[in-house]
Amino acid sequence: MSWTLEDLLLFSPQVYWRLFALENDAVWPAQPVVLAAAALLALTFIWGRRPSGRWLGPVLGAAWLWTGWQFVALRYGTVNWVAPTLAWGFYAEAALLVGLGLSGRLVFVQQERGAWPGIGLVAAVLIWPVLAPLDGRPWREAEIIALAPDPTAVATLGLLALAERSRWTALLCIAPVLWLAVSTLTLVTMGAWQGWAVLAALLAGLAAWVAPLVRKPG
């Protein structure tokens, strides 16, 4: 007998999914508001407009701060003693988004081609809430951007794929990539197929960010 990932899992899937129900109950009716905002953001990019990082950075930072504090530290932290430590990654991401956004280092650009992967990831968070009913669970357990960590991280990777590549935006990729990797492991260990959705989003986000660098001549 030896250690398996399963041995590190402290809670049952039911307990994990119900955390989202409790969070959704606590913040209702924030859900339609943030989803409408996310839809508007996706449409903005689809229409070819490029919002300023000076406001989008801080707004996204606020989403990371809220998710890290309210969900990861306070709610997830009740069943997983590692969670309050993980929340520090969310606070760091929030601070970076605010700092880099306000200082003009987060710039959304017109890409010669291939804005679609990024837009696709932002749009994906609009259908993310459907994962709960698809799994036979109630809508109350839906995961919503800015309230739940997975869709927040997925949308962030999408937005970073739409931003100018720089050392700074690379730095911004770290927290969402690490979180989605941890989430994949947690969900797959829990036996939840959603883990594969998270992994797919993570790989798509990474590919979308790296692709223009690889394509660049010279």
Partner 1 sequence: MRVTRRAVLVGAGAALAAPALGASAGEALSKRIPATGEPVPAVGIGSWITFNVGDDPLLRAECRAVMAAFFEAGGGMVDSSPMYGSSQAVIGDALATLGHPAGLFSADKVWIDAADGPAQIAETTRRWGVQRFDLLQVHNLIDWEANLDTLEAMKAAGRLRYTGVTTSHGRRHEELEEVMRSRPPDFVQLTYNIVDREVERRLLPLALEQGIAVICNRPFQRGRLPDWLAGHPLPGWASEIGVSTWPQFLLKFIISHPAVTAAIPATRRVDHVRENKSAAFGPMPDAAMRRRMAEHVESL
CB-based contact 169:53 (threshold 8 Å)? no
User: Least CB distance from residue 71 to partner 1, whole Å?
Assistant: 12
Is the Cα torsion angle 28, 36, 165, 218 positive or negative in sign?
A: positive
Rounded to 5°, the CA angle 22-26-28 comes to 115
Is residue 1 part of the contact set for partner 1 (CB under 8 A)? yes
Q: For residues 75 and 105, which CB has a smaller minimum distance to partner 1 in the complex?
A: 75
Binding of residue 85 to partner 1 (CB under 8 A): no
Among positions 47, 48, 81, 218, the unique one binding partner 1 when judged by CB under 8 A: 81
Q: Which stretch binds partner 1 (CB under 8 A): 9-17, 121-129, 144-152, 160-168?
A: 9-17
**Count of positions (residues) in the chain:** 218
String marking each residue 39-78 x if it binds partner 1 according to CB under 8 A: ------------------------------------x--x
Measured CA to CA, the distance from residue 25 to residue 22 in angstroms comes to 5
Q: Contacting partner 1 (CB under 8 A), which of 30, 59, 79, 206?
A: 79
Q: Does residue 15 touch partner 1 according to CB under 8 A? A: yes
C-alpha distances out from residue 40 to 57, 168, 196, Å: 16, 26, 27
**Per-residue CA distances from 74 to 7, 44, 80, 146 (Å):** 23, 33, 10, 15
Q: How far is the CB of 72 from partner 1 (least distance, A)?
A: 13
Q: Is 2 in the site for partner 1 (CB under 8 A)?
A: yes
- For the beta carbon of residue 33, count every other beta carbon within 10 angstroms: 12
| Contacting positions for partner 1 (CB under 8 A) | 1-3, 6-7, 9-12, 14-15, 18-19, 22, 75, 78-81
